[in-house]
Amino acid sequence: MNRRLKTILFSLRRRTLRGSARDWLFNVFSPKCTTLARKKIETLTLKDGFYQLKIRGVDDVLYVSEQANIHSLYQTITEQMYSRAWHFYEVPETEVKDDVVIDAGCAEGIFPYLCKGRARQIYAFEPLPVFLDGLNKTFGNIPNVHIVSAALGSQCADAYLESNGISSYITDRETPTKVKMLTIDQFCSENGVIPTYLKADLEGYELELLNGAQSVIQRFKPKIAITTYHRPEHADAIKNKLACWNPSYQFRIKGIESVAGAPIMLHAW
């Protein structure tokens, strides 16, 4: 069954739009992401092993390995450049404004590329080798963006990735892709970082990420934009955890994932 039709049926059964009517209409009836993304792209060429992308109104070129999935790139551009998209991170309460940003799972680097001019510092974590060459090429001469070749979780250890582009995830199974895992608490303590913004999309590993950031969240109360659609129970679990650690947080939960109807994004501030 078509995913958009599933979303409509879920809304009818549960009598919820999980957000504004205009946002619901955009996500259910807008053109495909390829069409929407191309409206934002000024130039896109394939040269020397990289897609070289220039977004309208943004300085510099974004480099993405030709091994990456071009459709996934279009999808990510749409999710992060249309404010009515349920996957959009920067609602008014979680907009990047002179923030010290932790980007957990930055993939192709669209998020730091779009907000580098508004952020004080960005620490972009990405363990997947297919993205790292492009990230280093894109941000190598941009002093406030720091690429960290590591995953983030609840402990500092070696880990394994199931490699599947932007849908890659940490697994207990030994795979050819062995990566270093850090915790936000240890990274920030060792590097003197005081984060004011946490953005995360970790394909179901979000609770483990938060468990490794408890001290930072309790002490500094960063703005948070974190995906919740990978597991239906995550929105409530993440909200409850954050409220326990820092009771002054306010929340917005939005979106409808088409398979199980899970919320797509949680914002906290």
Q: What is the pLDDT of residue 170?
A: 79
**Residues 69, 165 contacting (CB under 8 angstroms):** yes
Q: What is the pLDDT of residue 136?
A: 97
**Residues 246, 269 contacting (CB under 8 angstroms):** no
What distance in Å separates the CA atoms of residue 59 and residue 121, rounded to the nearest whole number?
17
Q: What is the pLDDT of residues 110-150, one digit of tens each?
A: 999 999 999 999 999 999 988 999 999 999 999 999 999 99
Q: What is the pLDDT of residue 1?
A: 59
Q: What is the pLDDT of residue 178?
A: 87
**Residues 62, 83 contacting (CB under 8 angstroms):** no
Closest CA to 78 of 36, 123, 134, 26: 36
Q: What is the pLDDT of residues 211-245, one digit of tens each?
A: 999 999 999 999 999 999 999 999 999 999 999 99
DSSP secondary structure, 78-101, as one string: HHHH-TTSTT----GGG--SS-EE
Q: In the chain, what are the domains?
A: 86-268 (3.40.50.150)
**Has residue 174 got a pLDDT over 80?**
yes
Q: What is the pLDDT of residue 93?
A: 97
Confidence of residue 254 (pLDDT cuts 50, 70, 90): very high
Q: What is the pLDDT of residue 219?
A: 97
Instruction: Compute the residue count for the chain.
Output: 269
What distance in Å separates the CA atoms of residue 195 and residue 54, rounded to the nearest whole number?
28
What distance in Å separates the CA atoms of residue 108 and residue 92, rounded to the nearest whole number?
24
Q: What is the pLDDT of residues 46-56, one digit of tens each?
A: 999 999 999 99
Q: Which residues pair with 189 in a beta bridge?
A: none
Q: Which residues contact 28 (CB under 8 A, 6 or more apart)?
A: 4, 7, 8
**Residues 93, 25 contacting (CB under 8 angstroms):** no
Whole-structure pTM value: 0.94
Q: What is the pLDDT of residues 56-111, one digit of tens each?
A: 999 899 999 999 999 999 999 999 999 999 999 999 999 999 999 999 999 999 99
**Residues 265, 255 contacting (CB under 8 angstroms):** yes
Alpha carbon of 60 to those of 51, 55, 113, 167: distances in Å? 13, 9, 9, 26
**Has residue 165 got a pLDDT over 90?**
no
Confidence of residue 268 (pLDDT cuts 50, 70, 90): very high
Q: What percent of the chain has pLDDT over 90?
A: 88
**Residues 146, 123 contacting (CB under 8 angstroms):** yes
Q: What is the pLDDT of residue 237?
A: 98
Q: What percent of the chain has pLDDT over 70?
A: 100
DSSP secondary structure, the chain, as one string: --HHHHHHHHHHHHT--SS-HHHHHHHHHSPPHHHHHHHHEEEEEEETTEEEEEETT--S-EEEETTS-HHHHHHHHHHHH-TTSTT----GGG--SS-EEEEES-TTSHHHHHHTTT-SEEEEE---HHHHHHHHHHHTT-TTEEEE--EE-SSSEEEEEE-BTBT-EEESS--SEEEEEE-HHHHHHHHT---SEEEE--TT-HHHHHHTTHHHHHHH--EEEEE-TTSTTHHHHHHHHHHHH-TT--EEEE---TTT----EEEE-
